Chain A
Amino acid sequence: MTDPLDAYSRYAPALLRKCERILASREDAEDIVQTLFGDLLRDGGPLPDFPYLFRAATNRALNRLRDRRRRAALLERHGHAVLGGVVPPVDGRVVHLDLLARLVDQLDPETAEILVLRYLDHLDQQEIADLIGRSRRTVHTRLADIRDRLAALAGEAAP
């Protein structure tokens, strides 16, 4: 596929679902996906494949959560939304938007991406490793760190 507009029509619905799983906001998802394709058009290079776009959308959604002003607006509207969509959570762990935001504050960008790929997109460790170009061992270690932080934050939240 070489036409960016064709690529937008083909891939945007999946990317919108992807961003909505992270942010619980269709409006923000649309803004992110539009901006992503706008940037691709301006760059004028070869069109990336869907897995690349999937990662790009993930990181842009996470960047939105890091943006203090936008995050405040998101949390005000959707802070208690349960993320992830239609299937049970990984490890029985329900992730709300406000919990994800607090985790993102604690994690480096790559680990935050791994968090989303595992807990919201249900990729297994090998699939994550293949997608981000890291070893499975690295992914395993990062996930252990994520689980520890999740447990700590859940403990913080407990009465």
Chain B
Amino acid sequence: MFRSSRPRNGILSGFFLKLYVANNLNEMTSYMSFPLYETLQTQDRWLLVFLYSYQIYADFFGYSAIAIGLGLLFGHRLPINFNLPYISISFSEFWTRWHISLSTWLRTYLYVPLGGNRHGLWRTYLNLMIVMGLGGLWHGAGLGYLMWGLLHGLLLVLERPLLARLASIDFAMFRAARMTVVFLCVSMLWIFFKLPNFDHAVGYLTGMFTPSTNRNPTKLFYSLALLYSLPVMIQHFGLGTLFERRLRWAEPYLFGSMAALMYLEAGPETSVIYFQF
């Protein structure tokens, strides 16, 4: 549904995800900033982490889809940058689906020249940590970004010896559990993105595991949170593929409704998150 194989699809779906999903979710996730997060209840801290996960995806996917759509209008076929990253069942798979242009660059120009996996197990682990650490620093020269990269590297290292064994267990529930774990970990690590100041990020994380004592906490509209997150969930649950195949006839109506919705319900204007990197 949000694939950008045609210019119109890319541009419309990109603007929809940016204006309707990302900009509206940004209103909520702004409460993750320091010191506003001190007013949040524990369960809302958790929810905001997931909402930020949807927001950063919608924001960056939207930006990439618009670029791909505009590129197609001028005859340039740009590579896709996202391929449903939140359905990944391993961290290594996540990095083949998220920000594909950057992860491809890191693999080609850092991981492979460092020796990749050709010099033994421990050297492979070291290479993964170096590449992900530098990948983190690519986003900004801060301890938070470095930690974000290194923690992703650590997750890649930890899962690597288990991958073959995990792949041999192939039933739906287990795959769903793996998907949940990957989504949970990736979402929690976005905190270092949202709060580049390392102390603030640790403060937020600590609050996620501490009962809130604030008697006048920020109120969060759960119904609105669901409403704005729904497009990302629908896309990831495979309804997009359904519209590409069996419901292809309904595609123009869907895009028309999306255009109306983003006109009626666009969130306040905010710049694209990745503009800062």
Pairing of A with B: no
